[in-house]
C-alpha cells in the first residue's frame, strides 16, 4: 500500500466529489414527499369526517300538507290545544277507517296529550322534506337557497335541522325519511354482539390458553397456528357464506328457534340474530385468539414457576395466576375484535339481514337488522334524504366505536403502567 | 414453555411413581378428572379453528360441485367466457374478475406508494411527538367500518371525480371511485406492516451508514428499505389480498351488474359485490344462482388464501435474516 | 433537516501535519436532562492510537460518538462545548454532520455489515460520496489494508453476512477506510470477538495508525496497554456524569499514574 493513495486528507478531497448540496436537495424533495403522503392520509380522514358531518346537519325545506296555522282554533295555536280538540282535528281529517283503527289500537280517551299532538303532526300536518342541503351549503349559500325555496316550493318553510336527534335514536325504521330512526338497528347490533361475545370470548380465550399453556410442539399444533393466521386473512364475505350454509340453512331448526318452540312466527327461518351472532363469532375468533395468545405470553414465567413451586396444578396456576395477569390484555384485544364485528356488514347481508323491520328484536330468534346494514340500505336509496339519514347513522356508529376503542386504550394504558 | 415446566415440576416424578406394582405412597399420581376435562375443553376450543377452515372448504366445495354438475354450466365456460348473466344461463367469471382486478389495482395505486411513504416517514423521519400524533390517526382510519368508506366513495369521491373528469365521462357508479377509496382504507394496513418491517432493521445498520457520511435519505432508501424488502413485500401481498376480498365499498360505489370493461370510470361489479347483491335479494336455496355464488366464493377464497400463504412464507424468510 | 448546511472545511484542506487531529473543549453531552459526559478537554494526537478506558457507564462511548456527532441520532441527545477539527468547531450551527462523519469514520462494537455483498459493503460509502476513481481498485486496496483481501477475493459477490465475526469486523473497517476518512473512531471493536480475531484487529490498528488517527474505546485494559499510544481514563463523578480523570502517554498511565483513582482502576481495585 502506497502512502500516497492512503494519504488521509490530501488525496481524499481530490478523489471524492461528495456533491452534498445536490444530495441535500434530493433529500429535501423526498422528505417533502414522505411528509406530503402522511398529510394526504390525514386529509383523507378529514374528508371522510367532513362528508359525514356535512350530511348530518343542514337545511331542509319542509312542506306541510295542512299548515298548522290553519288548524288553530279560535286563535289558540295548534301546539296548545286540548286533548278533545286534537281528537276533533283527527276525526275531521282522517278517513273513518283509519280513525277507528287508531282508536282500537289505543282508545283516544286514554291517550296522552303529547301522543295526540304527535299523531296530529304525523297524520294531519304531514310535514315532508321536499329538499335538503348539507351543512356547508347551509352556511355559505343561505341566500341562494332561500330564493330557490321561495321559487320552487312556495309554501315550504326552510328549517335548519340536525339529522341526529333523540327521536332519531328512539324511532324504529320507517319508510318516510322524516320519521325514520335507528332504534331497531341499534338493538339489533347490540343483540348480535351479545351473542358474538358469549360464544367467541370463551372459545377464543380457551383456544389461546390451550395453544400457549398446553399444546406441545407437534405438527398438529403448528397446523392449528398456521390455520388461525390464515383464517384471519379470509375475506369477511366468505364467513357470511359459511354462516349462510351452516347456521341459516344447515342448522335452521336450531337458529330459527323451532327446536325450542321459540320461533318467530312471522319468519320462522334461520335468518336470525343467533345466526348473525355466531357468524360474527367465527369471524373474529382468529383475531381474538391471536390477541389473547399475546396477552398470555406476556405473563412472566416466574409467576408460573412460583405457583408450580407451591404445588399448584396446571389449571390452578392458569386460573389463579396466569389469567388474572393476562386479563387486561385479553379484554383490550376482545374490545378491538368486537368493534371490528360491530362494523361488519357484508357477512350479515349474505346471511340475510332484514331490509325493513319496525319491531324491536326481542331475543336470539328474532329477525334482525344492524346499524351498518341500515347505513348500507339508506346509502343505496336514491332519494337524497336517505343520504342524510345514512350520515346520521354513521355518526351514531362511529360514536359507538369511539367509545369502545377509547375504553380499550384506557385499559391498555392502565395495564402498561402496572406492568 | 408452560408444558416443559409442568413436566419438570410435576410430570416426571409422578411418572416414575406411577408403576402399578408399587404400593401406595404419598407421591402416587393422583387422578384429576377436573383437570382432564378442562384440558379437553380447551383442546376443543383450539380445534374449532380447524373446523372453521374445514367448514369453509366443505361448504364452498360442495356448492361449487353442485354448480358445476348442473347441465347449464361447465368449468370451461366459467373460466373462459366473458358474460355473466345467470338469467340467461351465462356464467363466464371474467367480468367479475376484471372488475375485482381493476378496483384492486386502483386501490394499490393509492395504498402502496402512500403507505410506504407514510411508513418511511414515521419510522425514519418523524419525531416522537409527530409519531404519537400520526399513529393514532392511522389507527382511526383502520378502525372505520368499510360501509362508511362505501358511503364516502359514493357521496364524496364519485362527485369529486365527476367534477374533475366530467359527468359524461364518469358514471355515477364506477370502479375508480371505489378503488381509490379502497386504497385509503388499505393505506393504514400497508403503512403499519411496512413500518414494522422498517423498524425491525437493526439500528446498527443505520449507524454504520451514517458513520460513512450518508444523509438520512440515503440511509432510508439505500440501507433500511433494501434490508426490509421481504417484510415490505409481505405487506404488499396482504394488501392485495385485502383489496380482492373487500366488499362493501365496491357493493355501494362500483356498480350493480357485471360489466366486462377495463374503463375505471364505468360501472362494473366485482366478485364480492356480486355475492352481496345477489344474496341480499330473495334467493332460493339450491337454485343455480345460489350455487353460483359459492363458486365465486371458492375462487375468492383460493385467491386470498394463496396470497396469504405466500406472504407468510416471505415474512418467515425475513425473520430468518435478522433473528 | 431542511437547513442548508455549508461544508465544514474548505475545498482544499490543509494536510494533517498538525500535531493534533481533533480537540474537545469543555465538551458535555446530555441525554434529555441527564448529563452523560461533563466538561471534557482533550487533544488527540495525529496518527496515533488513543484509547478511552474506564468502568461501564463512565461515558467513554458517548464521548467517542461526540467526535463525529453520532449521538445526534438519539432524539434527546445534544452537546455543549466545542470539538475542534482543523480549527473548526464541528458543533457550529453551519456545520453539516454528514460532512463530519465522512471525514471522521466509525467502527462499531458489533460488526454491522450491510446485508449486501462484500464488494457492495466496501464500495457503498465511496459511492454515495461520489468517488471518482476506479471503484474496483478502491475496494481491493481497502480490503488489502485490512488484510482481508486474500480471504475474500474469490467471493466478493457473496453476502457479507456469510463471513465470520472477525472477518465481518475487518470488513467494517475496510468499509470505513474506503471513504478515506481522517480519523477512525472505534467503539470496542473487538469486544465481541475471540482472542485470535482480537489480536488481528489490534495488529490492523497498528498498521492503520501509520496513516490514520485512531480513537478506540475499550473495556479491556490489556488491549489499551498493548495497542494504544495514549490513554484517557474516565470515571463517573457524583452526578453520574463521565469526567476525564487522567490523560497521557499509555506507558505513563499504566506505570506511573498520577491520580490515585487511575491506579485503583488499572490495578483492579475498582468496581
Which of A224, A235, A372 comes nearest B300 by C-beta? Answer: A235
For residue A26, is it within any domain?
Answer: no
CA-angle at A34, arms to A32 and A40, nearest 5°: 95
Q: Do B207 and C110 touch (CB under 8 A)?
A: no
Render pLDDT for C17-66 as a digit per residue (tens, 0 to 9): 578 899 999 999 999 889 999 999 999 999 999 999 998 888 899 999 99
Q: Which CATH number covers residue A348? A: 1.10.3720.10
Which of A41, A206, A313 comes nearest B114 by C-beta? Answer: A41
Q: Do B209 and C124 touch (CB under 8 A)?
A: yes
With an 8 Å Cβ cutoff, is A142 touching chain C?
A: no
Q: Do B143 and A401 touch (CB under 8 A)?
A: yes
**Shared domain check, A260 and A386:** yes
Cα distances from A28 to residues A17, A36, B131, B215, C124, in angstroms, run 20, 12, 19, 11, 21
Q: What are phi and psi of C179, to 5 degrees?
A: -90, 10
Q: Do C4 and A11 touch (CB under 8 A)?
A: no
CA distance B1 to chain C (A): 30
Weakest mean pLDDT among A156-170, C140-154, C238-252: A156-170
Cα distances from C17 to residues A8, C14, C47, in angstroms, run 11, 8, 10
**C-alpha to C-alpha distance for C165 and C171, rounded to whole angstroms:** 10
**Interface probe, candidates C5, C67, C113, C124, chain B, greatest B C-beta count within 10 A:** C124
Domain encompassing residue A261? 183-418
For residue A42, is it within any domain?
Answer: no
Predicted ipTM of the assembly: 0.86
Q: Do C182 and A28 touch (CB under 8 A)?
A: no
- The closest of A38, A45, A154, A52 to A394, measured between CA atoms, is A52
Q: Which chains touch A (3 or more CB pairs under 8 A)?
A: B, C
In the block, cell 385485502 appears at B242
Count of B-C CB contacts under 8 Å: 73
Provide the pLDDT for residue C17: 54
Which of B120, B300, B308 comes nearest A238 by C-beta? Answer: B300
**pTM metric for this prediction:** 0.84
CA distance A43 to chain C (A): 23
Which of A31, A51, A216 comes nearest B217 by C-beta? Answer: A31
| Structural domains in chain A (count) | 2
**C-alpha to C-alpha distance for C48 and C206, rounded to whole angstroms:** 9
- Domain residue spans of chain B: 1-30, 84-322
Write down the CATH number for the domain with range C20-266: 3.40.50.300
**Shared domain check, A204 and A110:** no
For residue A132, is it within any domain?
Answer: no
**C-alpha to C-alpha distance for C117 and C102, rounded to whole angstroms:** 22
Mean pLDDT of chain C: 87
On the 0-12 / 13-18 / 19+ scale of CB atoms within 10 A, C183 is buried
Q: Which chains touch C (3 or more CB pairs under 8 A)?
A: A, B
A351: cell is 346471511
Cβ contacts of A278 on chain B, cutoff 8 Å: none
Which of B49, B145, B155 comes nearest A51 by C-beta? Answer: B155
CA distance B140 to chain C (A): 27
Q: Do C180 and A15 touch (CB under 8 A)?
A: yes
Provide the pLDDT for residue A216: 84
CATH superfamily, with its number, for domain B84-322: MetI-like (1.10.3720.10)
For residue A195, is it within any domain?
Answer: yes
Residue C92 has pLDDT above 80, yes or no: yes
**pLDDT digit of tens for each residue in chain B (323 aa)?**
344 444 444 444 444 444 445 556 777 777 778 888 898 999 999 999 999 999 999 999 998 998 888 887 888 888 888 888 887 778 888 999 999 999 999 999 999 999 999 999 999 998 888 888 888 888 888 889 999 999 999 999 999 999 999 888 899 999 999 999 999 999 999 999 999 999 989 999 999 999 999 999 999 999 999 999 888 999 999 999 999 999 999 999 998 888 888 889 999 999 999 999 988 777 777 788 888 899 999 999 999 999 999 988 888 876 666 54
Phi-psi region of C113 (alpha: psi -120 to 50; beta: other; left: phi over 0): beta
Closest-approach residue (CA) in chain B for A206: B42
Which of A1, A9, A28 comes nearest C2 by C-beta? Answer: A28
- The closest of B256, A1, A415, B85 to C212, measured between CA atoms, is A1
**C-alpha to C-alpha distance for B295 and B299, rounded to whole angstroms:** 6
Count of A-C CB contacts under 8 Å: 70
Q: Do C180 and A17 touch (CB under 8 A)?
A: no
Q: Do B128 and C75 touch (CB under 8 A)?
A: yes
With an 8 Å Cβ cutoff, is A29 touching chain C?
A: no
Taken in order A258, A260, A264, A269, is the CA torsion positive or negative?
Answer: negative
**C-alpha to C-alpha distance for A69 and A81, rounded to whole angstroms:** 12
Q: Do C180 and A11 touch (CB under 8 A)?
A: yes
For residue A141, is it within any domain?
Answer: no
Element (H, E) at C52: strand C49-53
CA distance C96 to chain A (A): 9
Q: What is the 3-state secondary structure (H, E, C) of B255-298?
A: CCCCCCCCCCCCCCCCHHHHHHHHHHCCCCCCCHHHHHHHHHHH
Cβ contacts of B209 on chain C, cutoff 8 Å: 114, 124-125
Q: Do B204 and C112 touch (CB under 8 A)?
A: yes
Residue C7 has pLDDT above 60, yes or no: no
In the block, cell 463471513 appears at C163
In the listed set A126, A148, A171, which residue is the last one of a domain according to the structure?
A126
**Shared domain check, A187 and A122:** no
**C-alpha to C-alpha distance for C11 and C2, rounded to whole angstroms:** 23
| Chain C interface, Cβ < 8 Å to B | 1, 68, 70, 73, 75, 98-99, 101-103, 105-108, 110, 112-116, 124-125, 128-129, 161, 172, 175-176, 179
**C-alpha to C-alpha distance for C79 and C72, rounded to whole angstroms:** 9
**C-alpha to C-alpha distance for A371 and A351, rounded to whole angstroms:** 16
Cβ contacts of B212 on chain A, cutoff 8 Å: none
Residue ranges in chain A modelled with pLDDT below 50: 1-11, 419
Contact (CB, 8 A) for B183 and B106: yes
Averaged pLDDT for residues C241-263: 91
**Shared domain check, A387 and A288:** yes
Amino acid at each position: 500500500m502506497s502512502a500516497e493513495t492512503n494519504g488521509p486528507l490530501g488525496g481524499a478531497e481530490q478523489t471524492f466529489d461528495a456533491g452534498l448540496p445536490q444530495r441535500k436537495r434530493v433529500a429535501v424533495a423526498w422528505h417533502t414527499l414522505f411528509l406530503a403522503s402522511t398529510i394526504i392520509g390525514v386529509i383523507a380522514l378529514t374528508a371522510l369526517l367532513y362528508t359525514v358531518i356535512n350530511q348530518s346537519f343542514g337545511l331542509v325545506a319542509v312542506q306541510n300538507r295542512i299548515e298548522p296555522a290553519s288548524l288553530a282554533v279560535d286563535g289558540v295555536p295548534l301546539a296548545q290545544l286540548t286533548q278533545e280538540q286534537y281528537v276533533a282535528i283527527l276525526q275531521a281529517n282522517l278517513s273513518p277507517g283509519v280513525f277507528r283503527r287508531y282508536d282500537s289500537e289505543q282508545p283516544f280517551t286514554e291517550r296522552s296529550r303529547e301522543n295526540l299532538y304527535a299523531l296530529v303532526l304525523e297524520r294531519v300536518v304531514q310535514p315532508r322534506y321536499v329538499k335538503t342541503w348539507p351543512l356547508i351549503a347551509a352556511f355559505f349559500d343561505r341566500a341562494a337557497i332561500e330564493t330557490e325555496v321561495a321559487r320552487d316550493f312556495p309554501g315550504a318553510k326552510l328549517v335548519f335541522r340536525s339529522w341526529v336527534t333523540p327521536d332519531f335514536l328512539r324511532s324504529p325504521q320507517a319508510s318516510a325519511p322524516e320519521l325514520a330512526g335507528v332504534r331497531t338497528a341499534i338493538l339489533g347490533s347490540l343483540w348480535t354482539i351479545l351473542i358474538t361475545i358469549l360464544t367467541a370470548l370463551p372459545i377464543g380465550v380457551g383456544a389461546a390458553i390451550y395453544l400457549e399453556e398446553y399444546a406441545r410442539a407437534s405438527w398438529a399444533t403448528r397446523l392449528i397456528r398456521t390455520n388461525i393466521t390464515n383464517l384471519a386473512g379470509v375475506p369477511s364475505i366468505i364467513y357470511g357464506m359459511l354462516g349462510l350454509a351452516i347456521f341459516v340453512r344447515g342448522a335452521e331448526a336450531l337458529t330459527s328457534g323451532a327446536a325450542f318452540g321459540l320461533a318467530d312466527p312471522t319468519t320462522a327461518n334461520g335468518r336470525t340474530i343467533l345466526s348473525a351472532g355466531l357468524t360474527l363469532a367465527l369471524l373474529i375468533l382468529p383475531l381474538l385468539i391471536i390477541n389473547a395468545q399475546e396477552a398470555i405470553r406476556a405473563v412472566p414465567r416466574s409467576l408460573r414457576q412460583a405457583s408450580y413451586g407451591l404445588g399448584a396444578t396446571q389449571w390452578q396456576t392458569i386460573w389463579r395466576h396466569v389469567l388474572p395477569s393476562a386479563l387486561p390484555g385479553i379484554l383490550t384485544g376482545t374490545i378491538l375484535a368486537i368493534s371490528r364485528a360491530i362494523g361488519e356488514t357484508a357477512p350479515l347481508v349474505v346471511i340475510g339481514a332484514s331490509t325493513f323491520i319496525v319491531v324491536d328484536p326481542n331475543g336470539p330468534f328474532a329477525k334482525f337488522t344492524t346499524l351498518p346494514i341500515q347505513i348500507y340500505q339508506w346509502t343505496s336509496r336514491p332519494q337524497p334524504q336517505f343520504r342524510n339519514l345514512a350520515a346520521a347513522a354513521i355518526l351514531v356508529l362511529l360514536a359507538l366505536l369511539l367509545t369502545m376503542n377509547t375504553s380499550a386504550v384506557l385499559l391498555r394504558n392502565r395495564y402498561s403502567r402496572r406492568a | 414453555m408452560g408444558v416443559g415446566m409442568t413436566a419438570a415440576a410435576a410430570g416426571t416424578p409422578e411418572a416414575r411413581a406411577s408403576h402399578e406394582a408399587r404400593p401406595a405412597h404419598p407421591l402416587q399420581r393422583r387422578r384429576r378428572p377436573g383437570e382432564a376435562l378442562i384440558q379437553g375443553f380447551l383442546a376443543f376450543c383450539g380445534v374449532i379453528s380447524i373446523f372453521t377452515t374445514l367448514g369453509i372448504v366443505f361448504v364452498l366445495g360442495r356448492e361449487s360441485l353442485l354448480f358445476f354438475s348442473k347441465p347449464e354450466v361447465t368449468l370451461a365456460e366459467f373460466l373462459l367466457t366473458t358474460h355473466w348473466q345467470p338469467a340467461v344461463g351465462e356464467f363466464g367469471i371474467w367480468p367479475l374478475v376484471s372488475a375485482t382486478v381493476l378496483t384492486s389495482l386502483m386501490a394499490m395505486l393509492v395504498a402502496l406508494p402512500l403507505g410506504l411513504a407514510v411508513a418511511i416517514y414515521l419510522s425514519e423521519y418523524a419525531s416522537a411527538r409527530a409519531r404519537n400524533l400520526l399513529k393514532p390517526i392511522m389507527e382511526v382510519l383502520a378502525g372505520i367500518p368499510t360501509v362508511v368508506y362505501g358511503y364516502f366513495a359514493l357521496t364524496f369521491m364519485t362527485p369529486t371525480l365527476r367534477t374533475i373528469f366530467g359527468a359524461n365521462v364518469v358514471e355515477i357508479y364506477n370502479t375508480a371511485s371505489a378503488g381509490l377509496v379502497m386504497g385509503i382504507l388499505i393505506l393504514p394496513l400497508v403503512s403499519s406492516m411496512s413500518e414494522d418491517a422498517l423498524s425491525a432493521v437493526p439500528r446498527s445498520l443505520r449507524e454504520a451508514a451514517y458513520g460513512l457520511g450518508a444523509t438520512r435519505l440515503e440511509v432510508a432508501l439505500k440501507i433500511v428499505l433494501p434490508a426490509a424488502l421481504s417484510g415490505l413485500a409481505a405487506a404488499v401481498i396482504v394488501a392485495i389480498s385485502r383489496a380482492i376480498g373487500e366488499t362493501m365499498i365496491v357493493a355501494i360505489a362500483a356498480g350493480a351488474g357485471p360489466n366486462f370493461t377495463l374503463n375505471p370510470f364505468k360501472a362494473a361489479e366485482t366478485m364480492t359485490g356480486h355475492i352481496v347483491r345477489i344474496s341480499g335479494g330473495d334467493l332460493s336455496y339450491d337454485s343455480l344462482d345460489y350455487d353460483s355464488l359459492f363458486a365465486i366464493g371458492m375462487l375468492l377464497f383460493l385467491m386470498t388464501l394463496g396470497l396469504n400463504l405466500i406472504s407468510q412464507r416471505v415474512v418467515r424468510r425475513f425473520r430468518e435474516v435478522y433473528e | 433537516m431542511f437547513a442548508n448546511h455549508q461544508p465544514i472545511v474548505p475545498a482544499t484542506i490543509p494536510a494533517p501535519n498538525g500535531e493534533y487531529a481533533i480537540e474537545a473543549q469543555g465538551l458535555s453531552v446530555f441525554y434529555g436532562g441527564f448529563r452523560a459526559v461533563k466538561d471534557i478537554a482533550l487533544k488527540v494526537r495525529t496518527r496515533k492510537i488513543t484509547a478511552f478506558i474506564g468502568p461501564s457507564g463512565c461515558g467513554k462511548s458517548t464521548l467517542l460518538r461526540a467526535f463525529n456527532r453520532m449521538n445526534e441520532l438519539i432524539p434527546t441527545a445534544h452537546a455543549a462545548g466545542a470539538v475542534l477539527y482543523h480549527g473548526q468547531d464541528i458543533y457550529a450551527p453551519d456545520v453539516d454532520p454528514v460532512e463530519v462523519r465522512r471525514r471522521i469514520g466509525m467502527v462499531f462494537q458489533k460488526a454491522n455489515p450491510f446485508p449486501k455483498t462484500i464488494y457492495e459493503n466496501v464500495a457503498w460509502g465511496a459511492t454515495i460520496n461520489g468517488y471518482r476513481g476506479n471503484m474496483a481498485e478502491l475496494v481491493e486496496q481497502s480490503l488489502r489494508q485490512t488484510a482481508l483481501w486474500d480471504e475474500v477475493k474469490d467471493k466478493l459477490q457473496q453476502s457479507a453476512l456469510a463471513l465470520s465475526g472477525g472477518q465481518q469486523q475487518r470488513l467494517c473497517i475496510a468499509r470505513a477506510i474506503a471513504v478515506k476518512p481522517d480519523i477512525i473512531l472505534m467503539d470496542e471493536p473487538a469486544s465481541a470477538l475471540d482472542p485470535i480475531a482480537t489480536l488481528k484487529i489490534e495488529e490492523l490498528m497498528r498498521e492503520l495508525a501509520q496513516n490514520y488517527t485512531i480513537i478506540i474505546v475499550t473495556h479491556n485494559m490489556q488491549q489499551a496497554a498493548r495497542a494504544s499510544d495514549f490513554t484517557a481514563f474516565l470515571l463517573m463523578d457524583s452526578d453520574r456524569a463521565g469526567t476525564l480523570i487522567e490523560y497521557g502517554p499509555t506507558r505513563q498511565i499504566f506505570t506511573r499514574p498520577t491520580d490515585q483513582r487511575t491506579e485503583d482502576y488499572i490495578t483492579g481495585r475498582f468496581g
